[in-house]
Amino acid sequence: MNVQEGTTLGAYRVMERIGRGGMATVFRAYHPALDRFVAIKVLPDFFADEPDYRERFQQEARSVARLKHPNILEIFDYGYDDGTAYLVLELVEGGTLAERVGKPMDLRDVVHLLEPLGSALDHAHAHGVLHRDIKPSNILLQQDGTPVLADFGLAKMTGAMHRLTSSGTVMGTPEYMSPEQAADELVGPASDVYSLAVVAYEMLTGRVPFLGDTPAAVLLSHVTKAMPATRELRGELSAHVEDVLRRGLAKRPEERYPSAAAFVAALKPAAWPSRHLDEPSALPTRRLALPDRRPVVLVVDDGAANRELIEACLAGVECHVRTAEDGPAALKSVQAS
C-alpha cells in the first residue's frame, strides 16, 4: 500500500509525514472515534514482505508494549493492513534532541535531560529489553522539554543475548555504537550505557567522540581509540566530568557504570558542587557563631613606616595584627582585648 495523506490504516486516518528512518516512515494520524492524534510508524512494503524484517518490526511491538515508563514512548497498537505493517504510537511533538546538539549544552541541562533517560533505560533492562540504537534523533522531546526514549526497532531480548544481525550486517548507528556492538559481538545493558555516554559527550562538547570518513572507520575508532579529552574541546569542563565520561565510554563493558542511572548520577556532583547551599531549607536555620581562634600579633614600634612594613609581612599569616607606637598604647591594646 502506498501510504500518504488521507490513507486509512485500520481505524486511523493518515494526516502527514513527520519523520523517516532507515527502516520505517512515521506519520501523524487521527483516530476519529477516540478524537485522538497519534503517530503511526509504517514499514515499507518491500520490507514488510520479508519475514526477517516483519519479525523485527513485530518484535518492537512486543518488547515496547511491555514497558510502562513515563520516558519511554508508549505503543498503542500493531496492525497489518493490505500488505502494510504499522505501529500506532504516542505522538510527541516537541522535536528531538538532535535539534539541540551541535553546540555545547549547559552541564545542568544535560543532567536534567539524561536523568529520566537513565531511569527509562534501566527500566527496559530490568524487563529484559535492550535499545541498541540510542542517539539524539531517537530521543523525542515533549513540549515542556521532557525527554522520551523512542524507536526500539533494534530492541533485543537480553535473555537470549544472541546477535540480531543477519548476513554479517551490524545494526545500529556507527557514531553511537559500543565497541562490542561495532565488532558484532554479544551485547548487554552495558552497550546502552556506552551509547548514552556518547550522547552525553556530544551534548557537553558539541560533537561525538569518534569521527571518520566512512562508517567502518568510525566503528574501528570505537574499538581501538581512546576518548578525545573533553577539556580540549571545552576548557571549562572539570576533570571529574572527563573521568565520568571515560568510564562510561570504557572499551570493556565490565569497566563501565553498572547502570544508566549510575552513570548519570556520577555527573551530578560536577553539575551541583554546592547543591546544599543552592537549595534553601524549608525551615529557617540559625548559624552558631564560632570563636575566632586566630592568634593576635601585637607590633610595637615608634616608627610608622616600620609598623606598616611588619604589618605587610604578616599579611599572608592567619592572625590578627595590632599595632602600637609605644608601651602605654600597647598595654591599652592588650587590656581592651
C-alpha cell at 248: 562510561
107-126 helix and 189-205 helix, angle to the nearest 10 degrees: 170
- Bridge partners, residue 8, by sequence: 13
Task: Please choose, from the candidates 60, 19, 18, the residue with its C-alpha nearest in 3D space to the C-alpha of residue 171.
Answer: 60
For the residues of 192-213, what is the DSSP string, one character each? HHHHHHHHHHHHHHSS-S---S
Q: Which of 49, 52, 109, 133 is catalytic?
A: 133
**How far apart (Å, rounded) are the C-alpha atoms in residues 150 and 148?**
6
**How far apart (Å, rounded) are the C-alpha atoms in residues 210 and 97?**
19
Residue 133 designated active-site: yes
C-alpha cell at 66: 511491555
Distance of CA 308 to the CA centre of its chain: 57
Does an H or E element contain 129, and which?
strand 129-130
**How far apart (Å, rounded) are the C-alpha atoms in residues 38 and 91?**
5
For the annotated catalytic residues, the residue numbers are: 133
